[in-house]
Amino acid sequence: MTDRLSLEQRMQTAFAGVVAAYPRDGVLQYCLDESRLPEVARFLHQKLQGRLALLFAIDCRPRTQKYEIHYLFALSSGHPWVLLTVELGGSARLFTSITPSVHAAQWYEREIRDLFGLIPHGHPDQRRLVRHEHWPQGLHPLQKTFPWDKVMGRQQGEYRFRHIEGEGVFEVPVGPIHAGIIEPGHFRFSVAGEPIMQLEVRHFYKHRGIEKLFEQCTLSGALPLAERVSGDTTIGHSLAYCQAVESLLHLQIPRRARYLRSFLLELERLHNHIGDVGAICNDTAYTLAHAHCSRMKEQLMQLNDRLAGSRFLRGTMAIGGLTHDVPATQQTEVIDTLNRIEKDFAELESIIFANASLTDRLETTGVLTERTAWDHGAVGVVGRASGIDYDVRRDRPFAAYDEVPVNTVLYRYGDVRARLRVRMDEIHESIRLIREIRQHIPQGPIIAAVDYMPQPGEWGLSAVESWRGEVLYFVMAGDDGHIHRCKVRDPSFVNWPAIQWAAVGNIIPDFPLINKSFNLSYAGNDL
């Protein structure tokens, strides 16, 4: 509470006349005039070290003829979220860009321009982001007047990549279809000889219109969609969606369900992290470690299948709790498997780090400095490998993490090795957490009944530390149980721009390794 007051006081002193509101637990909201926004955003970002966590727009039609733009800042641990809200009424189409002072806003503002047709005035980059150049002009899918199933035509157009010109400088285009079994996206390297001078990421090939599809669903009916935003983060996304809706419905989740949610989230983290450790080794051609890791990952996926009937734990989450219980016998089975895997993995770790040629390849490769990570608001594994000490499980505890605290892993070098180390340490930490959850799990119901019908315009916000990092959901209720707006933010969306800087100075053959160490989702980014 004192934090809240002092934060409010500082805002009051700096900006006379701003009015604070608490629309939701843990959210401090300021409704601002558009002209004051840049200075307030700059103050939050630079003076109070606020990280821009989310920036999104809402088309409030048909209830009111206006757009709202929301800026969500995460301050240091113990502070509530700070939400700045700006309204654009009538026919106004311009809003002031905050990108010049808050770098992390760059993709968000271009996204708003594409999806809503609102123009970020003063944004240094006015190219399209989500809409590729072949989309006809004037189509902005998240406007309420745009039909969700519209069939779009095609036009001619070409994306203008940033060019570096000079003797011996040439460009290497990669993608959208890559050499491995991975998702599509385009990378454009400018190189002089071997080292990369510049990397530009051109994504959104997989844009499936997920946020528009959410708006066609009811609050409870959208859960399968949330599970399929990014398949490898099924629990992360479905849990974040459930929590946002539960906050909207004022639901109290039974304790057992909260414990089981953490249990499942850690299981998801485990199989993904183990797979990533193997994949990083594989990209240095160290296939032995890859074979062992993919074997362990497979064991965990088969365990998931036995627990939930889905190798990705699909269909386990429900609004208010879980769809089915994990009985004690199955918990014991999980613990037995994890005991074996922990020993197995520890042996492999000592083999991996005894290999000098491997560590030589990993060290000082793909360095993302703490400053660059901070400027991009990098989160999750990538952030924690670059000294960004943020973990939703510790800083904004959800599920059972307030009762089963997590030991956050932090490295500062920001290279591939640091990202590998974060994953390895988190594997041990996840196993410890699952054991602890197993010890303390209470008996009781696993789902709470919904007895509240939200008013149109009410909203909920939630953050979950998925295996990749912070997943954010903002859900606003519409008429008769439908969704008016659902903003999804996968950690990949903030980490992709950061990878452009981690690659600079490295050689192209190292890029697959750097990319693997980030291991970002294309599907979660493109939506």
Partner 1 sequence: MFRILKKSLKTGTVTGQYPHTQPLVIRTPGAHKKAAPFKSSLTIREVDTGSCNACEMEMNALTNPVYDVERFGIHIAASPRHADALVVTGPVTVNMEHPLKDVYKQTPHPKLVIALGDCAINCGIFKGSYAVTGPVERHIPVDVRIPGCPPRPVDILEALASIRSLPSPSEE
Residue 518: which region, alpha, beta or left (left: phi > 0; alpha: psi -120 to 50)?
Answer: alpha
The distance of Cα 426 from the centroid of its chain, to the nearest Å, equals 18
Binding mask 274-293 for partner 1 (x = CB under 8 A): -x------------x--xx-
> At closest approach, how far in Å is the CB of 220 from partner 1?
15
N-term to C-term CA, the chain = 37
- Interface residue with partner 1 among 14, 213, 335, 450 (CB under 8 A) is 213
- Interface residue with partner 1 among 96, 99, 106, 234 (CB under 8 A) is 234
**Does position 356 bind partner 1 by CB under 8 A?**
no
**In angstroms, rounded to a whole number, what is the distance separating the alpha carbons of residues 315 and 234?**
9
Stretch that binds partner 1, among 310-318, 392-400, 435-443, 507-515 (CB under 8 A): 310-318
**Does position 522 bind partner 1 by CB under 8 A?**
yes
- Interface residue with partner 1 among 166, 173, 180, 457 (CB under 8 A) is 180
**Does position 357 bind partner 1 by CB under 8 A?**
no
Angle of CA points 211, 97, 468, to nearest 5°: 45
Binding mask 239-278 for partner 1 (x = CB under 8 A): ------------------------------------x---
Per CB under 8 A, contacts with partner 1 among 120-159 are 132, 134-135, 141, 146-152
**In angstroms, rounded to a whole number, what is the distance separating the alpha carbons of residues 62 and 60?**
6
- Interface residue with partner 1 among 56, 108, 189, 204 (CB under 8 A) is 204
The secondary structure of residue 310, as a DSSP letter, is S
- Interface residue with partner 1 among 305, 363, 402, 479 (CB under 8 A) is 305
What does each C-alpha distance from 504 to 137, 346, 365 come to in angstroms?
34, 33, 10
Q: Give DSSP secondary structure letters for 228-275.
A: TSSGGGHHHHHHHHHHHHHHHTTPPPPHHHHHHHHHHHHHHHHHHHHH
**Does position 181 bind partner 1 by CB under 8 A?**
yes
**Does position 438 bind partner 1 by CB under 8 A?**
no
- Token digits for 447? 């789902």
470 forms beta bridges with 465
**Does position 229 bind partner 1 by CB under 8 A?**
yes
Angle of CA points 202, 205, 208, to nearest 5°: 140
**Token pair 């991009």: residue:** 376
> At closest approach, how far in Å is the CB of 432 from partner 1?
23
Which residue lies nearer to partner 1 by CB, 185 or 497? 185
**Does position 504 bind partner 1 by CB under 8 A?**
no
> At closest approach, how far in Å is the CB of 370 from partner 1?
29
- Interface residue with partner 1 among 15, 43, 161, 205 (CB under 8 A) is 205
> At closest approach, how far in Å is the CB of 33 from partner 1?
34
> At closest approach, how far in Å is the CB of 299 from partner 1?
8
Q: Give DSSP secondary structure letters for 12-28.
A: HHHSTT--EEEEETTEE
Burial class (CB in 10 A: 0-12, 13-18, 19+), 500: middle
SS3 annotation, 374-426: HHHCCCHHHHHHCCCCCCHHHHCCCCCCCCCCCCCCCCCCCCHHHHHHHHHHH
Q: How many residues bind partner 1 (CB under 8 A)?
A: 58
Stretch that binds partner 1, among 33-41, 64-72, 209-217, 498-506 (CB under 8 A): 209-217
Binding residues for partner 1 (CB under 8 A): 132, 134-135, 141, 146-152, 176-177, 179-184, 204-210, 212-213, 224-225, 228-232, 234, 275, 288, 291-292, 294-295, 297-298, 301-302, 305, 311-312, 314, 347-348, 350-351, 354, 521-523
